[in-house]
Structure 1
Amino acid sequence: MNPLEFLTDLLNPDLAFLPKALAIAVMSSIVCGVVGCYVVLRGMAFIGDAVSHAVFPGLAIAFVVSGNLVLGGSIAGLATAVLVAVFSHSRRLREDTVIGVLFVAAFALGIVIISEAPGYAGSLQQFLFGSITGIPTSDLYVVAGTGLTVLTVILLLHKELVTVSVDRESARALGLRVFWLDLTLYVMVTLAVVISVQTIGNILVLALLVTPAATARLLTDRLGRMMALAPSLGAGSAVVGLYISWSWDLPTGGTIVLVLTTAFLTAWFLAPQRGLIARQRRRTSHQQYQNRSEPTTP
């Protein structure tokens, strides 16, 4: 299928689910790209994976009672994020330890709940790997509203979040409320994950949160440019991934992740400053310069 045929399918009224899938994928990729910059900056990629486990019981309950999946996942994820912030604030236990205990327990609870639902195997597969082509119209508006809320909060607290991410002790010395900023970031990560679960599933959602930001980090040293590049890379990969999956009848979530990974590997090798080839050239040039500078012995 060529791009023109894909565009024709997007405009086909009989395939109304396809433009909705594209809109959800792009919106969730943009939000995850922005939030993921803070995740990469703080070196807390683990929390993205953990949050995807934490939202699972809420998704499972919402599915069993035929409720809104985004709302159910948000409630469960936010409750767990608050508990993590409270338990880790004393610093008696490391943050990753608390996350490991609470989020895995939440995921186990979700497994137990969903096992009681009819069609257990199919429901579990939908949650784990996404079901982007079966998204109701109501979720489109929920994702748009949630994503806009996340981006607004990030914009308003950008300087504070960066300060806490770079140097927590300096943030405390400046009088910033580190606990509440940590909690806010946990909540933003949770919401970003929740709106992405239907696109890419619990198992693969970490890629949408981390890979675009990590790719952007290879391409620039400036946070502002990174936060512009990451959502652009995520959204572009979502479009390409959906196109490839629709053309060759492949799983949408897995295809989007593979496109993201391809972009990351390309940046890893070819980035102008941080790419492997550029680093190797600088190393070779430095060695040649040293060899020319060494005095020759008679």
Structure 2
Amino acid sequence: MTWLLDPFTLPFMQRALLGGLLAAVMCAVVGTWVVTRGMAFLGEALAHGMLPGVAVATLAGWPPVLGAALSAGVMGVGVTALSRRGRLSHDTGIGLVFAGMLALGVLIVSRSRSFATDITAILFGDVLAIRPADLVLLGCALVALTAISVALHRPFVALAFDVRTATTLGLRPDLAQLALVLLVAGAVVTSYQALGALLVVALLLAPASAARQWTHRLAPTMALGAVLGAVAVLAGLLLSWHAGTAGGASIAACSVALTGLSVAARSLTDRSSRARPAGRSTSARRPTPTPGGPPCTTP
């Protein structure tokens, strides 16, 4: 068991594990709404859309997380505003805002020659360099986003399954959509320090997608997604330690691999359950009564 325990005797590996677990639970809660609502493209777009805010914050000497939050918030409001007009579909609005924000970020970065290392950290993260302050941020974000998810559970459910019913019940689907977008933005912003903007999407989508193979109820999906996300974090850190690979990329790869295994296992289970009735004898089936005839009886 030394291969499992020895890596986590070091303080930086302990911080990486704790930070990854906090991010996994938070992404499982928010990711369940993303998968249920079909907002995977939005999560990826928000991860890219943080670039201009982080770039401006770095140039101004501000905390990068503050710039990322402002940038993601502006993008979320912009997507909601474009979609509310009715002239553009939701996906088109996301694509336009995403392209504009990414272009703006590249323009800002291209004006400075000191961004090479910073951009690499923004895009790919460094889970092994998590500081105690980052753990505090992840913990606070987990509590806040979970509380928002619980408080807005009813509007989110109505929005995910029937917008017209949400409108009839007075649940304000437009405001619920904006709140959900900002919820996703909050998860992406506070998790990118651990996994990076490009890789956080995997932890946001993969565990929830894997959990949805086994349950379609929201609370069990969140719980199972958190467990699968924690397994991906542990496996990814062990892979990074023993194989010398990047920590964030290893966690993301393990998350996607777990989803593939879950889909394959569910497919085999479904095939097995369908094969059992087909193999049963038809002689024991209950006879079907004829219209107007006497009721059927079994021997």
User: Taking structure 2 as the reference length, what is the TM-score of the superposition?
Assistant: 0.88
User: Is 1:197–2:192 an aligned residue pair?
Assistant: yes
Matched residue, 2:179: 184
1:133 to 117, 128, 153: 128
Looking at structure 1, the residues matched to 109 and 231 of structure 2 have their Cα atoms a distance apart, in angstroms, of 33
In the alignment, residue 288 of structure 1 is paired with which amino acid?
G
Cα distance, 1:266 vs structure 2? 1.8
Show the counterpart of 1:33.
28
Question: What is the alpha-carbon distance in structure 2 between the residues aligned to residue 195 and residue 124 of structure 1?
Answer: 17
1:260 aligns with 2:251: no
How many angstroms apart in 2 are the aligned matches of 1:243 and 1:66? Answer: 35
Asked whether 1:111 is paired with 2:106, we answer yes
The RMSD of aligned alpha carbons is 2.0
Q: What displacement does 1:129 show?
A: 1.1
> Which residue matches 1:231?
226
Question: Cα deviations across residues 65-123 of structure 1 (Å, max 9, x unaligned)?
Answer: 33212211011101110111111112221011010000121112112222334443322
Answer yes or no: is the 8 Å Cα contact 1:60–1:114 preserved in 2.
yes
The answer to whether 1:4 aligns with 2:5 is yes
Structure 2 runs not aligned, ≥5 long = 286-299
Partner AA of 1:72 in structure 2 = G
Alpha-carbon separation, structure 2, partners of 1:188 and 1:88: 17
Whether the aligned pair in 2 keeps the contact of 1:114 and 1:123 (CA below 8 Å) is no
Find the counterpart in structure 2 of residue 14 from structure 1: none
Of 262, 267, 288, which residue of structure 2 is paired with 1:276? 267
Matched ranges for 1:1-298 at <5 A: 2-10=3-11, 17-270=12-265, 275-289=266-280
Work out which of the two has the higher radius of gyration on C-alpha atoms and give 1 or 2.
2
**AA of the residue aligned to 1:284:** A
Q: Report the alpha carbon displacement of residue 143 of structure 1 after superposing the two structures with TM.
A: 2.6
Does the 8 Å CA contact 1:70/1:139 hold for their aligned counterparts? no
Deviation of 1:64 after TM superposition, in Å, equals 2.3
Note the C-alpha offset of 1:286: 4.2
| 3-state SS in 1 of match to 2:62 | coil
- What number of residue pairs does the alignment pair up? 284
Structure 1 gap ranges (5+): 11-16
Q: For residues 210 and 127 of structure 2, what CA distance do their matches in structure 1 show?
A: 24
In 2, Cα distance between equivalents of 1:73 and 1:40: 23
Change (3 A) 1:9 1:151: same
* In structure 2, C-alpha distance between the alignment counterparts of 1:185 and 1:245, rounded to whole Å: 33
- 1:13 aligns with none
Deviation at 1:56, TM superposition (A): 1.5
> In 2, distance between residues paired with 1:153 and 1:234?
21
Measure the CA separation in 2 of the matches of 1:146 and 1:221: 25
TM-score between the two structures when normalised by the length of structure 1: 0.88
CA contact (8 A) 1:130 1:202 kept: yes
Q: Which amino acid aligns with 2:7?
A: F
**SS of residue paired to 2:86:** coil
- Report SS of the residue matched to 1:202: coil
**In proportion to residue count, which structure has more helix?**
1
CA contact (8 A) 2:54 2:65 kept: yes
8 Å contact kept, 2:32–2:221 = yes
CA separation of 1:66 and 1:284: change in aligned 2, threshold 3 A: same
